[in-house]
Amino acid sequence: MSLLVQLKDYRRTLFYTVLMLVLLSNLTMFYSVKSAKVMFYWAFYASFFGVIYDFHWLQKRHWWVIAPIALLGCSDLIWFSWIYIGSPDYDEFNGYLNTGKRLILAAVIGYYLLSVMPKYHEMSRTVIKVTLILTFVIASGVGIYQHLYLPGRVDFFLGRATNAAYDYSILSAALIFLLVYENVNRKTMFCSLLIFAVSYYIIFQTGTRNVMATFPLLIIFVGIVKLRHLGFKPLIFVVLCIGVVMALSYQHVIKPKFDTTINEFNRYETTNGNLDGSLTSRLAMWKIGSSLIARHPFGNSLEDRWHYAQEYVQKHNEDRSALRYINVHLHNEVIEVASLMGVQGAIVLLFFYFSLLGYAYYTRNPALFAVMMGIIVCGLTDVLFGSREQTIMLSLLIISVVLWHKDRLPSSQRA
């Protein structure tokens, strides 16, 4: 009897160890990337041990979460292996090699947690909720500190303000709908609206145009789709928050960004994309990337893409501004993946997007729906899964909000 008790304690301890490592990895991502990576790897080691020595079958419906993550990782690894193994251009530090490996590790973590989760569901929901709230509070504190005391854009010490804006906005959106979904009352509504107000102001301090424009629209859209309605008062509050934040940030953020956007678009038109600029270079990269996909639909190496871009610019005498950034990525997730991994790679990416979006809609999980909408929207102007740090954070956040969600499907629809 004592042996059974010890075994139960071991299983519970292992489960909550992995869960806390996952949650703390996302929490520390906003001030210490190194700590976040270490916790991610330890979560994998513990999960792998759990899968091997305490195996549980994963329920069929949860394969719709794990399979897209694993397939996206496999797509990166297959492309890298096909193109670079045995090639003189082989590079063990290739971004997609490392991103692919991290997605596979995240899938193993997700497999373990989701297969064991039914035994410890209720307490897990509370742990996840409290830790995500704490993550938002710490991230917001770091953002406010940087805004008040450090020069430049808020970046949560990630090194890139755009990446910071994507991570923070997706976390904030998930938390807003997590709170409202659990219990719709004045308290949760007030907390969610406060989160929106604080996060939207900090997003403005990152200076990231995509998120500045789309964050409130994402909240309104997810609210309408998943909650059927926002309610008149919350909608008015959202509009007022948008107005206040825009008024406070107009002179030092909005007007300069707006003027820069108009000037860069005009510059692209008048110079055929040959002068550098954030928007100018993006438009040039998208044009060259689309041309490359049409010419080579089954994929390329990074080196082939670079050579094609050089030839394209020389032949057409346009879009020269793309050459400065094209070796990094094309600043659009679908175009980036299709230009390297071909149409088949883009299909895998779209499957990842829409299978998880459909799963969120079918299981009535507004937090997951918000995360996936955020990933899709941010991917229109940047590449999220080219960054090892963002790959860790977003994959673990997806797993966390699926673990949090309590299935409310009728028993007849459960797999």
Q: What is the DSSP secondary-structure string of 276-318?
A: --HHHHHHHHHHHHHHHHHH-TT---HHHHHHHHHHHHHHHS-
Q: Residues with Cβ < 8 Å from 277, sequence gap 6 or more?
A: 260, 263, 264, 267, 268, 321
More confident residue, 227 or 177: 177
How far, in Å, CA of 69 to CA of 353, rounded? Answer: 10
Q: Where are the domains of the chain?
A: 2-271+332-400
Nearest to 147 by CA among 167, 132, 164: 164
Q: Which of 9-13, 169-173, 322-326, 382-386 shows the lowest per-residue confidence on average (mean pLDDT)? A: 9-13
User: pTM for this structure?
Assistant: 0.91
Q: Quick one: which of 131, 102, 179 has its CA closest to 30?
A: 131
Structure confidence at residue 233 (pLDDT): 60
Structure tokens at 181: 């979904």
Residue 413: is its pLDDT beyond 70? no
Structure tokens given for 359: 């799963």
pLDDT confidence band for 415 (50 / 70 / 90): very low
User: DSSP secondary structure string, 311-372?
Assistant: HHHHHHS--GGGGGTTTT--SSHHHHHHHHHHHHHHHHHHHHHHHHHHHHHHTT-HHHHHHH
pLDDT per residue over 185-220, tens digit each? 778 778 888 898 899 889 988 988 889 888 988 888
**The pLDDT value given to residue 399:** 96
| Structure token pair of residue 339 | 């230009």
- What one-character DSSP code corresponds to residue 250? I
Is it the case that residue 53 has pLDDT exceeding 70?
Answer: yes
- Which of 340, 356, 339 is CA-nearest to residue 398? 356
User: Helix, strand, coil proportions of the chain in percent (round to 5)?
Assistant: 80, 0, 20
Residue 146: pLDDT band with limits 50, 70, 90: very high
Any idea what the Cα angle at residue 101 is, between residues 98 and 105, rounded to 5°? 135
Q: Count Cβ neighbours within 10 Å for each residue of 321-352 and write b for 16 or more, e otherwise.
A: bbbebbeebbbbbbbbbbbbbbeebbebbeeb
User: What pLDDT is recorded for position 101?
Assistant: 95
Six token digits for residue 356:
């998880």
Q: Any idea which residue has 């926002």 for tokens? A: 230
Average pLDDT over residues 104-110: 97
What DSSP designation does 412 have?
G
At 90, give phi and psi (nearest 5°). -55, 130
Residue in 61, 73, 60 with CA at minimum distance from that of residue 109: 73
- CB count in 10 Å sphere of residue 201: 18
pLDDT score recorded for residue 412? 40
Does position 100 have pLDDT exceeding 60, yes or no? yes
